[in-house]
Every structure is written in C-alpha cells, then in structure tokens.
Structure 1
Amino acid sequence: MKAVISKRFALSALAMTLSMSVSATVISGYDVTDTASKDCGGASHGLYTNSLKLGSKKCAARSYSIGSGSTFLQSDDGTARLTGTALNPYGINAAFDLLFTGFTESYSVVKKGGSSNTADWNFYTGMSSDSRITVDGIDYYAQLVAAPGKSGKAPVFQFGTGANDKTNAFGGSVWMDIYAANGKPLYTGSKHWDLNFDLNYNEDLVPDINVPTPATLGLLVLGIAVTCLSRRKNSQAS
C-alpha cells in the first residue's frame, strides 16, 4: 500500500512539474528600423553609444544605423526580446540582444520627444542580467537607467505611437546604463546609451502553432498514471 501511495505521490509531483513548466509563446512580432531622426553629421539615430566613439572621434561615430532583420518579439509571459545588428558610419559593427520583463500598460516616467499623446503606449520595467550590446567584438552588459532603486524615477522601455522619442511614428525607445562583464560601471548616468527605433508589425514573426499546453499535458499524464495504478491494484486484488 505504501509503495502505491509513494508512486502516486511521485506521479502527482511529475504532473505538477509539467503543468508549471509553461514556456513563453510569441504573441506579436515587429521589424525594427531606424527612426527618421538624424544625429550630428546626419548619422542615423538607432543605437546611440554616447561617449564611446569608435572609428572616428567625430560625434557621428556614436550613432549606429539598425540593420535589416532586427526584431522585437512580445511573449505571453510579460517579456519581450529586442535583437538585431547596427553599423556606425565608420564601419564599426554592433549587435544587441535585450530581454525585457515586467510588462505594464502604464508607467510614471515617460519621454515625449516624439509625441505627447501616450494613449496607446505600453512599457517593460525590467531587463534580464544577461542583456547585452556587442560593439566591435566586445560585450557590454545593459541595465535600465531605472534599475532597482530608481524605479519610477527614470524612463524604462516604452513603445507605442511616438514612443521612439524622436518622431510621431509607431516605435520604441530605451535608456540603458552599461557595465562590464564583471559588473564594473562603464557608461552610466549622463553617459548612458539608448536605442530609438520604429516598429512595423510582421505577422510572419508570430508562430502559428496550436499544441496542447503543458498544463493540460500534466493533467493528462496524471490521469493516465492513476488509471494504470488502479487497474494494477484491482488485478492484484483479484
């Protein structure tokens, strides 16, 4: 009897684990492009690296044009991923892979350089610790300027009509403090980096997959296991 109970407990735990391991599903996807705004020297204002100027001492060296294939993907678990490449006027390559967390429809601090109408704006208030921007082969780790301790006092990731902080187009923007891999502050405070971009919805970025959810699978496993144990018990009793 104890063995049967132990088996049932183990199977219940397995089913619960399966039920809880719900993977995030992409629910919307956008192509990411430069805003129409230009930085000094006519450089595109996509990725902005502030005082880090590579390839030239001119101010345009801090401005990187966002490359084709860059995307912004929203998931149903309240996270979103911004990935892509960028290039400055002097041939310096960059790439970004940023995971945002804490989706919310309202936030107290916004940047209205593109529009004062925030009716359709949404926000992400956190960023994963492994979010990074790679410039000329070197990884720089990014955190929101509104990192823990500054929440509600500084801007976060914002997106919507005019949320690129540059024009009235639908887009997004984010302001980031930059750190070395060992956690040493590199470009923080007034030296923060930022991304300003337009967003164009792309339905091809959203997977068209209809499969049973892990929660349903867990309950199914539990049901089958309990049925099998009951049949085995009845067979032994007879």
Structure 2
Amino acid sequence: MPPVVGITAYAEQARWGEAWDLPATLLPRHYADSVAATGAVPLLLPPVAGVTGALGRLDGLLLAGGGDIDPGRYGAPTGTHTAGVQAGRDTAEVDLLAGALARGLPVLGVCRGMQLLNVCRGGTLNQHLPDVVGHTGHRQRTGIFDTHPVTVAEHSRTARVLGRTMLDVPTYHHQSVADLGRNVAATAWAEDGTIEAIEYTDVFNVLGVQWHPEMGTDPALFTWLTERAAEGAT
C-alpha cells in the first residue's frame, strides 16, 4: 500500500459552480498533485476540532501555507500588516504537529508551515518582512509566485534532500522566521539574509522551507517526504 500523507487545509469562504458561495475546506491543488506525483496518497486535513484523530492513519504530514499565525503564540502584539489569522487553524496544526512528532512521522513545512515549525519550538516571526529587509522581493505581485535565489548550507540535511546548494525558488510571503526556536537550525538563506529553510536538530525527519516547492518543478522535497513516509508505513 502507498503511504498516506496528510496535508493541512484552509477554512475559507469559496465560490464555485453557478450558485455556490459557502464556507469551505480547501487547498490549492498543487499540494495534493505534488504529493500524489511521488507515489503517496494525499489526505486533506480540515482545521476542525478532533482532526488529530486521523494521525493513526497517516504516514507523513505536510503543513501547508496560508494566513498568518496568531502573534500571541510567540508573545507578540498583532502588527498592522498581519492578516488571515485563524485561531482554529493554528490550534489544529499545532496539535497535528505535536501528534506527528510523538509518532515519529516525517514532517514537511511549507511557508506558513515552516513558520509554525519554528513557533512551536519557542521561536518568533518577523510580522512584515519588507519592514526588515526594505523591499518586497519575497512577495512582488499579488497572486503571483515570482522567484529569487536561495543558498543552502553545505552538508545540511536540506542540501542532501535538494541535491544542491544554489537554487531559484517560487516565493510568496510577507513574514519570516526571526528568532530560532529550541533545536531549530537555519539551513538556507535569501540574498538579503532571510531564513529560507530550517531543520529540527533533534528530530531527523522534520524540514521546513519558506518557499513554495509545489509551485516549482523540483519534486525533491515531496520525494523525500514520501520516501520517509513509506519507510514508516512498512
């Protein structure tokens, strides 16, 4: 049987068909397609109470992108530009991560997901990156995934997974990791010093990237997640 990878989903108002405009559980399809393309079965995890009940049927976890994390979770007041905070999603994903770690499941965090990996270890975030770096290069155009170069630390787990230390990545974010949490190491950086990837140093199967690999052409991160999930499923 192929491994099952749970992907955290959004709770949003959505429109479809000719008549429907309703609250929905949704996820950009690129996430599920990227997981399926590597041989795993993608399973969407809605941000609802009790979603951790699915953990016993999962072999891996993908923390997807989305709105901002509540700054109260890292002891900060809410900034002017912080948006899309959903307490229910924060709680569901924090609980899913804790459960996945307790079960030894591999975890990949993407964009918001990487930030959650850091916050759950006591780390903090920059709430509006342009205020820190002085430009909008990480989110240049609304609704468009532009690219920028990233340098990956040699000999890091991230570099081994990607198979290289220099790459251009699809990006769309306005927040970033500030202070690193406990046993969290930065492993990739943009030219302006923004942290672009992290690893847990005390847990082998946890990686996070600030960019959006599902919007690119390199399947390496999803292949890694599926391979690790398959090892646990056997």
Q: Same fold (TM over 0.5)?
A: no
Flag the structure with higher strand content: 1
TM range (shorter): under 0.3
TM-score by length of structure 2 reads 0.25
TM-score by length of structure 1 reads 0.25
Flag the structure with higher helix content: 2
- The higher radius of gyration belongs to 1
